[in-house]
């Protein structure tokens, strides 16, 4: 039993990160009907931004929540700016073209970011400083063998806080209302006097900031960061967004947690039914295919009729 | 339209005529030594997924060449290296080696780190009868490609066996769990041979889990391993994942020590794993406690030149070039048949990764040492000898056995002094 | 000249050219002259890339279905055909030699091997296509990517074809050839490249091609016109996978070594860059793109300044820049051909290429009021 609880904790931990990244995907898709392939790389940029902030500010490992918060905020700001730049210079010019053009552009931007990083700072993984001291501290025992570490607790708490913040922004502020309006119908919102370009930029900024938060938090749990870390995580977060209903914010959170749990449980128990733990990544794709075949609108999404 | 076609045809014909060369119908004649500078080809992954491996090895090779040239070259001839990037893809590895031996007409080839790339490229070198020395490919098949293919590292069967013996005999372990990198030929090879030897010594493998290079979360695999209650856990992977695995295993409260291979060897390991690495063991080429001045000089020079401490790959790259240089010297030139024979006759060559002797299968025979990880250092524990190699009279008490070590002026070398992982890396499934 | 004589003449010319080129590239050379091995290898690899690019163009350029899984089908074709080469071709060859002599036997066996690779790849295409092609563009891309990765992982798990070590020859304890023979010379590669181009060209100019293009332009309208879009999409997908399988078979028997690292995501992306560069609605564009992208890394090696290290940066920058400036690629949807080989080139009505400037494909309903929306400035 304690093994199961442990696996669940592990799964929700991983899932919380997917949820943070999925939020960015879902918001951008809701507004632009665009899958931002470069989003996973923004997650990576966030992690590296945090790394370099810590490096230049001279923060070293040590149990300090304050340094973590400073690094977190710094990384989020940098990533928000990067997200806005991508939108302004890469996506906006091709918005009026066909969907395939925007898709190819998104892939191109994603590859560009990754490879610029690899070319400039090398593909060697770096070690993100451990602000929470989890390398030397013992975990908290729950019962039996089940344990939860400080890093995991922090990841949960910060993720939940950020998601609640996002909910508040989207549903309780004027800007949020504008975002929702744009996601319903871009042209109508424009007619209503909303500066759609600004709202789109803001959406990218918020989504990127959340992804960066995911990057920094994940680096506390697994300090190994490298320029290619965003690819697979980004893809799985996309699957999470689809699972929850793309365009739906609570759906993204639900999807992220579910994917994380599914992945971990399949790896943990899959051997009994013949699935090797190396099929871990395949789990997310399998879920995607099932969702798209059986319930394409996702768990919490609503079916949208395609108008001709 | 017709004119454009004509123009195109003309251009293509011109291209071909410039490109063509005389053929004399003979297949692969041996490259004859024509004096002049010695050209060595190096190929590795410089920009791909495992770029750090290829870059490290290249650094070692380049440093060796600079030292050789500063000392006047080999028999008075300077050495030049042509560095090619294969982006970590076997197909490209074959292409670049083909270019090196056929186009650039190098006298010898050094590379590759990953066995899959070496296997793809070795036939090209063999066909052109140009000797190839792999610094760190550990799959036994690599040197089977032909008599011109050599390596200066030990092979998977030996290393896996070493750790199994250590676990069973020294740690008295009866139950072992294995956590290996599924995608990596090196990791799978070690797992296979560890399993065979451990079972042969009466042990039991109680759990086996795998991951992929690039995975970020190992908690589910470790949780399952924890439930099986092993005495030791064998993790024959690379430092990038191992550091995190050690960390996460401590966070899960796992007490069993982790055992590993030379893939752990890197200064990065400590940054990633920190104190959670204490109490684990690895098999490696030799001990950092070795006070040998040659090793300390290598470390100091490398650190000064590249601003980073050398890892095992750099040391193996360095040794592979020096073995080649030594062979060229003994052969009196770069005549490929003579060079091949000279390399094959390498005996007790003192490298920074240990004493190298090339056996009849063109593999390096070296003893392995088992090191304990403690407080950011690799501490010497014991030496394990390959079959048929007799330990020196002062059995086992000296570190780095197998080659003469100076009187023990044991100043603890920094972690960086430990070289020599044997890599047979593969790519992660990140995309 | 009647058309069929033209065609036979064309065939003869092509065969002679291929045989001459092949001799030129081989050890003994043509009349004593030969091409350096390095260039010869490049030429062969280019031929294989052409097959890949033209086949991907069929499904992505002409049918508008964005597939990032092409490398997966290439892998399927490669491994299945080389499996035959290593484990079964020797006995087949010996048996046939008794009947028709050694060279013919070898050619027949190899032909069979390539066809087998194509069939297995086509089967894989069918299995992947049926569930996936119901999905819209963006999702299809991810799903095909996923399938390609799953295929790769499955192959990685099969020890009989080498697993993580790579496939060089028979894996003990199974019996077979110790080394993969060099079956695929330039006659085969060039020949199949020509076949691919001809087949795809003919498909595109036929009724099937019109259906595919209509699907690309507006799937709903095509469906409304009575075209069974799923059937046509799957058909195009299967054909394109079959050719990818052929390319894989040729690749495996040329390189004499297979490893799943050669079939990763980046390979699929390379093929996409080829057709994007050349122009997604054009076969000649695909050929051009294939040639450029295959030769480019080697050119970069020669240039000073270690530009080869920036190869991937250059590729991705190329994608971005092309999308920004000329999304239709170099050729757009035009073809480059010899007048007396082409019939009058009739373009179907409304055949605008993907992403051509100024022709947006409507994402939302439009009406005069909506079109004026751009002129309204926020307060």
> Would you say A2 and A143 are in contact if contact means Cβ atoms under 8 Å apart?
yes
CA–CA separation, B369 and B384 (whole Å): 6
| Nearest partner of C56 among C289, C286, C233, judged by Cα | C286
Q: How confident is the model at residue C339 (pLDDT cuts 50, 70, 90)?
A: very low
Rg (CA), chain C: 22
Residue A208 has pLDDT above 50, yes or no: yes
Give dist(CA B20, CA B16) in Å, integer. Answer: 6
Q: C238-267 pLDDT, tens per residue?
A: 999 999 999 999 999 999 999 998 998 889
Regarding whether B171 and B141 lie in a shared domain, the answer is: no
Average pLDDT over residues A67-73: 88
CA distance B228 to B260: 19
Chain A: touching chains (3 or more CB pairs < 8 Å): B, C
Q: Phi/psi of residue B80, each to 5°? A: -130, 145
Question: Quick check: is B315 in a domain?
Answer: yes
Q: How many CA atoms lie within 13 A of C218 on its CB side?
A: 16
Q: Tens-digit pLDDT profile for chain B (431 aa)?
A: 456 556 666 666 666 665 555 554 444 445 566 678 899 999 998 877 777 788 889 999 999 999 999 998 888 889 999 999 888 889 999 999 999 998 888 999 998 988 889 999 999 999 899 999 999 898 888 998 899 999 998 888 889 999 999 999 888 999 999 999 888 888 988 999 999 999 999 999 999 898 887 777 888 889 889 988 999 999 998 888 898 899 888 888 888 999 998 888 877 788 888 888 888 999 887 665 566 788 888 888 888 998 877 777 888 999 999 999 999 999 888 888 999 999 999 888 888 888 888 988 899 888 888 888 888 777 878 878 777 666 554 333 333 333 333 333 333 333 333 333 333 333 333 32
- Distance CA(C35)–CA(C26), nearest Å, equals 8
- Cis check for the bond before C173: say yes or no (omega within 30 of 0): yes
Judging contacts by C-beta atoms under 8 Å, the chain B residues touching residue C33 are: 20-23
The length of chain C, given as a count of residues: 379
Q: Is the pLDDT of residue C220 over 80?
A: yes
As given in the structure block, the two tokens for residue B317 are 């790259």
Residue C55: band (very low, low, confident or very high) from pLDDT cuts 50, 70, 90: very high
In a domain, A300, yes or no: no
Structure token pair of residue A74 = 């710094």
Per the structure block, which two tokens stand in for C198?
Answer: 């001809």
Pairing status of strand A146-148 against strand B21-22: unpaired
| Interface check C29 vs B, CB under 8 A | yes
Please give the pLDDT value at position A62. 61
Alpha carbons C167 and C161: distance in angstroms, whole number: 6
Distance CA(A183)–CA(A32), nearest Å, equals: 7
Between strands B354-358 and B349-351, the pairing is antiparallel
What is residue B411's DSSP assignment?
P
Stretch A223-227: mean pLDDT, rounded?
Answer: 86
Of B343, B366, B389, the domain-final residue = B366
- Into how many domains does chain B fold? 2
DSSP for B359-374 reads: -TTS-EE--EEEEEEE
The C-alpha atoms of residue A294 and residue B291 are separated, in whole angstroms, by 67
pLDDT at C366 over 60: no
Q: How far apart are CA B303 and CA B417, in angstroms?
A: 10
Q: Kindly report the length of chain B.
A: 431
Distance in angstroms (rounded) separating the CA atoms of residues A56 and A178: 38
- Taking residues C348-365, what's their average pLDDT? 46
Cα torsion A101, A107, A111, A112 to 10°: value is 40
Residue A102 belongs to some domain of the structure: yes
Is B422 part of any domain? no
* Chain A residues near residue B211 by CB distance under 8 angstroms: 277-278, 280
**DSSP-assigned letters across all residues of B76-133:** TB-EEEEEEE-TT-HHHHHHHHHIIIIIS--SEEE--SSHHHHHHHHHHHHHTT--EE
Q: Give A-chain residues touching B212 at CB under 8 angstroms.
A: 278, 280-281
CA dist B78 and B211 (Å) reads 46
Q: Which residues of B touch A147 (CB under 8 A)?
A: 251-253
- Residue A20 located in a structural domain: yes
Residues B172 and B257 in one domain: yes
The answer to whether residues B140 and B214 belong to one domain is no
Q: How confident is the model at residue A61 (pLDDT cuts 50, 70, 90)?
A: low
Q: Is residue B313 domain-resident? A: yes
B280 and B295, same structural domain?
A: no
C376–A190 C-beta distance less than 8 A: yes
| pLDDT for the residue A55 | 85
| Beta strands, E only, chain A | 126-127, 140-143, 146-148, 224-225
pLDDT tens by residue, A271-285: 777 677 777 777 888
Alpha helices by DSSP H, listed for B229-280, are 239-251, 267-273
Contacts of B88 in chain C (CB under 8 A): 261
B278 and B302 fall within a common domain: no
Together in a domain, B261 and B205: yes
A216 — phi, psi (to 5°)? Answer: -65, -40
Do the chains contact at A103 and C369, CB–CB below 8 Å? no
Indicate the range of A20-24, A32-36, B88-92 predicted with least confidence: A32-36
H-helix segments, B166-286: 185-200, 219-228, 239-251, 267-273
Provide the token pair at C280: 């997604």
Distance in angstroms (rounded) separating the CA atoms of residues B117 and B85: 12
Same domain, B227 and B330: no
Residue range of the domain that includes A102 = 2-134+148-294
With bands split at pLDDT 50, 70 and 90, how would you rate the model's confidence at A73? Answer: very high
Which residues on chain C are in Cβ contact (under 8 Å) with A284?
146
Q: What is the pLDDT of residues C169-199, one digit of tens each?
A: 888 888 888 888 888 888 899 999 999 999 9
CATH code of the domain in which A208 resides: 1.10.3470
CA distance C218 to chain B (A): 31
CA gap B273, B267 in Å, rounded = 11
- Give how far A99 is from chain C: nearest CA, Å: 8
Judge whether residue A176 has pLDDT over 50. yes
User: Which backbone phi and psi does B230 adopt, to 5 degrees?
Assistant: -85, 165
C279: left (phi over 0), alpha (psi -120 to 50) or beta: left
Nearest residue on chain C to A102, alpha-carbon basis: C323
List chain C residues with CB under 8 Å of B141.
165, 168
| C147 inside 8 A of chain A by CB | yes
C-beta separation of A255 from A240 below 8 A: yes
Cβ atoms of residues B85 and B47 within 8 Å: yes
Q: Say how far residue B3 (Cα) sits from the centre of its chain.
A: 56
Q: Which of A61, A145, A222 sits opposite B253 (nearest CB)?
A: A145
Residue C337 has pLDDT above 50, yes or no: yes
Residues of chain C contacting residue B22, judged by C-beta atoms under 8 Å apart = 29, 32-34
- A306 within some domain: no
User: What's the CA dihedral at B243, B246, B250, B256 to 10 degrees?
Assistant: -160
A98 vs C142, C150, C361: nearest CB: C361
Quick check: A42 pLDDT over 90?
Answer: yes
CB spacing of A149 vs B251 below 8 angstroms: yes
Cα separation, B222 vs A246, whole angstroms: 33
Nearest to B167 by CA among B226, B254, B232: B232
Strands B79-85 and B349-351: unpaired
Average pLDDT over residues C20-38: 71
> What does the block give as tokens for C170?
């028979």
Q: CA-to-CA distance for A50 and A224, rounded, in angstroms?
A: 13
B226 touches chain A (CB under 8 A): yes
Find chain A residues with C-beta within 8 A of C361's C-beta: 97-99
B8, part of any domain? no
Q: Last residue of a domain, which of B318, B346, B366? A: B366
> Do B194 and B274 belong together in one domain?
yes
Nearest CA in chain A to B52: A124
Spell out which residues of chain A touch residue B242, defining contact as CB-CB under 8 Å. none
Task: Find the domain containing B311 and state its range.
Answer: 38-154+291-366
Mutate to test the interface with A, among B216, B242, B376 (most CBs of A within 10 A): B216
pLDDT computed for residue C379 by the predictor: 46
Both tokens of B54, joined, read: 């290829």
State the residue for tokens 């400036």: C325
Across the interface, whether the CB atoms of A135 and B275 are under 8 A apart is answered yes
C-alpha distances (whole Å) from B35 to each of A264, B107, B328, B329, B334 are: 62, 11, 12, 13, 8
Q: Which of residues 357-376 of C touch B (CB under 8 A)?
A: none
Cβ pair B122, B330 in contact under 8 A: no
Tell me how close the Cα of B396 comes to any Cα of chain C, in angstroms.
35
Chains in touch with C (3+ beta-carbon pairs under 8 Å) read A, B
Q: How many domains does one find in chain A?
A: 1
Residue B54 falls inside a structural domain: yes
Q: Are residues B165 and B269 in the same domain?
A: yes
**CB distance C373–A187 less than 8 Å?**
yes
B279 and B205 in a common domain: yes
Is C339 touching B (CB cutoff 8 A)? yes
Sign of the Cα pseudo-torsion (A55, A58, A63, A67, in order): negative
pLDDT at residue C235 is higher than 50: yes
Is A44 part of a structural domain of the chain?
Answer: yes
Q: Of C19-28, C129-138, C139-148, C228-237, which gets the smallest average pLDDT?
A: C19-28
Three-state secondary structure of chain C: CCHHHHHHHHHHHHHHHHHHHHHHHCCCCECCEECCHHHHHHHHHHHHHHHHHHHHHHHHHHCCCCCCCHHHHHHHHHHHHHHHHHHCHHHHHHHHHHHHCHHHHHHHHHHHHHHHHHHHHHHHHHHHHHHHCCCCHHHHHHHHHHHHHHHHHHHHCCHHHCCCCCECCCCCCCCCCCCCCCCCCHHHHHHHHHHHHHHHHHHHCCHHHHHHHHHHHCHHHHHHCCCCHHHHHHHHHHHHHHHHHHHHHHHHHHHCCECHHHHCHHHHHHHHHHHHHHCCCCHHHHHHHHHHHHHHHHHHHHCCCCHHHHHHHHHHHHHHHHHHHCCCCCCCCCCCCCCCCCCCCCCCCCCCCCCCCCCCCCCCCCCHHHHHHHHCCCC
Q: What is the pLDDT of residues A193-206, one digit of tens each?
A: 999 999 999 999 99
Banded model confidence at residue A240, pLDDT cuts 50, 70, 90: very high
Taking only Cα atoms into account, the Rg of chain A, rounded to an integer number of angstroms, comes to: 19
Q: Which of B235, B258, B284 is the last residue of a domain?
A: B284
CATH number at residue B210: 3.40.50.2300
Q: Are C24 and C33 in contact (CB under 8 A)?
A: yes
CA atoms of C238 and C249, how far apart (whole Å): 16
* Per-residue confidence (pLDDT) for residue A113, from 0 to 100: 94
Determine the average pLDDT of the residues in C118-129: 95
B/C interface, count of CB pairs below 8 Å: 119
Other CB atoms closer than 10 Å to residue B50's CB: what's the count?
28
* Helices A280-294 and C137-156, packing angle to 10 deg: 140
Do B305 and B330 fall into the same domain? Answer: yes
A window 281-300, beta carbon within 8 A of B: 281
Separation CA C160–CA C167 (nearest Å)? 9
Q: Is residue B88 part of a domain?
A: yes
- CB contact, 8 Å: C306 with chain A? no
Predicted local confidence at residue B20, as pLDDT: 58
Whole-angstrom distance, CA of residue B233 vs CA of residue B208:
9
Q: Are residues B279 and B162 in the same domain?
A: yes
User: Residues C79-120: pLDDT tens digits?
Assistant: 999 999 998 888 888 888 888 877 788 888 999 999 999 999
Tokens of residue A174, six digits: 């004027």
Residue C352 structure tokens: 């605008």
């Amino acid at each position: 039993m304690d093994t199961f609880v442990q696996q669940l904790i592990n799964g929700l931990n991983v899932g919380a990160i997917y949820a943070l990244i999925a939020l960015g995907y879902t918001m951008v898709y809701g507004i632009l009907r665009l899958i931002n392939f470069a989003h996973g790389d923004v997650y990576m940029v966030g992690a590296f931004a945090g790394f370099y902030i810590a490096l230049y500010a001279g923060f070293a490992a040590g149990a300090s929540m304050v340094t973590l918060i400073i690094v977190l905020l710094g990384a989020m700001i940098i990533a928000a700016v990067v997200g806005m730049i991508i939108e302004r210079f890469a996506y906006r010019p091709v918005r009026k073209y066909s969907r395939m053009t925007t898709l190819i552009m998104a892939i191109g931007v994603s590859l560009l970011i990754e490879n610029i990083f690899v070319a400039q700072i090398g593909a060697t993984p770096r070690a993100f400083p451990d602000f929470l001291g989890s390398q030397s501290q013992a975990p908290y025992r729950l019962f039996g063998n089940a344990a939860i570490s400080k890093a995991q607790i922090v990841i949960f708490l910060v993720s939940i806080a950020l998601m609640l913040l996002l909910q508040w922004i989207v549903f309780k502020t004027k800007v949020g209302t504008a975002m929702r309006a744009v996601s319903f119908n871009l042209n109508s919102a424009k007619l209503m006097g909303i500066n759609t370009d600004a709202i789109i930029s803001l959406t990218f900024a918020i989504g990127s900031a959340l992804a960066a938060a995911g990057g920094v938090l994940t680096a506390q749990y697994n300090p190994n960061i490298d320029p290619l870390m965003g690819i697979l995580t980004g893809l799985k977060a996309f699957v999470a967004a689809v699972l929850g209903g793309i365009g739906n914010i609570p759906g993204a959170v639900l999807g992220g947690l579910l994917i994380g749990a599914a992945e971990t449980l399949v790896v943990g128990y899959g051997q009994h039914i013949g699935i090797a733990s190396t099929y871990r990544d395949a789990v997310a794709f399998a879920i995607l295919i099932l969702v798209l075949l059986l319930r394409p609108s996702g768990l919490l999404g609503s079916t949208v009729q395609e108008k001709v | 339209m017709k004119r454009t076609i004509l123009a195109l045809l003309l251009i293509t014909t011109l291209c071909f005529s410039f490109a063509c060369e005389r053929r004399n119908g003979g297949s692969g004649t041996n490259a004859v030594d024509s004096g002049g500078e010695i050209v060595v080809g190096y190929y590795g992954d410089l920009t791909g997924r495992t770029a750090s491996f290829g870059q490290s090895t290249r650094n070692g090779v380049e440093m060796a060449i600079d030292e050789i040239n500063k000392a006047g070259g080999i028999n008075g001839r300077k050495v030049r290296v042509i560095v090619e990037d294969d982006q970590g893809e076997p197909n490209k590895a074959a292409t670049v080696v083909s270019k090196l031996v056929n186009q650039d007409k190098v006298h010898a080839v050094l590379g590759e780190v990953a066995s899959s790339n070496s296997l793809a490229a070795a036939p090209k070198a063999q066909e052109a009868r140009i000797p190839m020395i792999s610094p760190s490919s550990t799959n036994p098949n690599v040197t089977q490609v032909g008599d011109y293919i050599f390596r200066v590292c030990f092979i998977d069967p030996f290393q896996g066996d070493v750790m199994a013996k250590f676990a069973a005999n020294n740690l008295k372990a009866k139950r072992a769990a294995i956590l290996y990198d599924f995608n990596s030929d090196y990791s799978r090879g070690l797992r296979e041979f560890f399993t065979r030897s451990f079972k042969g010594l009466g042990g039991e493998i109680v759990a086996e889990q795998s991951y992929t290079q690039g995975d970020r979360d190992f908690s589910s695999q470790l949780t399952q391993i924890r439930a099986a209650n092993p005495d030791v856990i064998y993790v024959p992977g690379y430092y990038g994942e191992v550091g995190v695995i050690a960390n996460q295993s401590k966070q899960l409260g796992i007490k069993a020590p982790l055992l590993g291979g030379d893939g752990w060897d890197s200064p990065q390991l400590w940054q990633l794993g920190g104190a959670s690495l204490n109490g684990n063991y690895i098999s490696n080429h030799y001990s950092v406690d070795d006070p040998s001045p040659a090793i300390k000089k290598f470390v100091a020079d490398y650190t000064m030149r590249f601003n980073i401490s050398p890892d095992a790959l750099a040391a193996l790259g360095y040794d592979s070039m020096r073995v080649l240089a030594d062979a060229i010297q003994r052969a009196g030139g770069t005549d490929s048949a003579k060079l091949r024979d000279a390399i094959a006759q390498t005996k007790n060559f003192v490298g920074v990764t240990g004493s190298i002797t090339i056996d009849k299968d063109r593999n390096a025979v070296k003893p392995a040492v088992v090191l304990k990880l403690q407080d950011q250092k690799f501490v010497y524990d014991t030496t394990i000898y390959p079959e048929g190699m007799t330990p020196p009279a002062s059995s086992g008490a000296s570190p780095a056995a197998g080659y003469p070590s100076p009187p023990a002026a044991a100043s603890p070398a920094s972690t960086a002094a430990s070289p020599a992982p044997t890599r047979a890396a593969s790519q992660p499934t990140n995309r | 000249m009647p058309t069929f004589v033209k065609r036979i003449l064309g065939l003869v010319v092509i065969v002679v050219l291929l045989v001459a080129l092949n001799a030129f590239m081989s050890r003994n050379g043509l009349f004593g002259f030969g091409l350096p091995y390095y260039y010869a290898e490049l030429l062969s690899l280019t031929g294989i890339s052409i097959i890949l690019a033209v086949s991907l163009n069929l499904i992505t350029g002409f049918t508008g279905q964005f597939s990032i899984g092409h490398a997966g089908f290439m892998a399927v074709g490669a491994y299945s055909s080389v499996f035959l080469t290593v484990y079964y071709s020797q006995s087949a060859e010996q048996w046939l030699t008794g009947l028709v002599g050694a060279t013919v036997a070898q050619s027949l066996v190899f032909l069979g091997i390539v066809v087998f690779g194509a069939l297995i790849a086509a089967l894989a295409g069918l299995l992947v296509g049926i569930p996936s092609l119901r999905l819209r563009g963006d999702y299809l891309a991810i799903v095909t990517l996923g399938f390609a990765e799953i295929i790769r992982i499955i192959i990685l798990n099969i020890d009989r074809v080498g697993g993580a070590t790579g496939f060089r020859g028979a894996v003990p304890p199974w019996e077979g050839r110790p080394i993969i023979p060099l079956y695929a010379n330039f006659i085969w590669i060039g020949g199949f490249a020509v076949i691919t181009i001809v087949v795809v060209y003919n498909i595109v100019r036929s009724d099937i091609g019109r259906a595919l293009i209509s699907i690309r332009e507006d799937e709903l309208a095509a469906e409304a016109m009575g075209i069974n879009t799923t059937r046509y999409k799957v058909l195009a997908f299967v054909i394109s996978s079959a050719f990818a399988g052929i390319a894989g078979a040729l690749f495996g028997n040329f390189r004499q070594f297979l490893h799943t690292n050669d079939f990763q995501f980046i390979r699929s992306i390379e093929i996409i860059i080829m057709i994007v560069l050349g122009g997604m609605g054009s076969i000649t564009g695909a050929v051009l793109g294939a040639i450029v992208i295959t030769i480019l890394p080697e050119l970069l090696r020669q240039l000073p300044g270690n530009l080869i290290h920036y190869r991937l940066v250059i590729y991705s920058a190329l994608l971005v820049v092309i999308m920004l400036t000329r999304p239709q690629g170099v050729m757009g949807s035009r073809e480059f051909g010899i007048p007396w080989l082409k019939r009058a080139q009739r373009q179907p009505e409304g055949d605008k290429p993907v992403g051509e400037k100024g022709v947006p494909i409507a994402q939302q309903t439009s009406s005069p009021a909506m079109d004026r929306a751009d002129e309204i400035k926020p307060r």
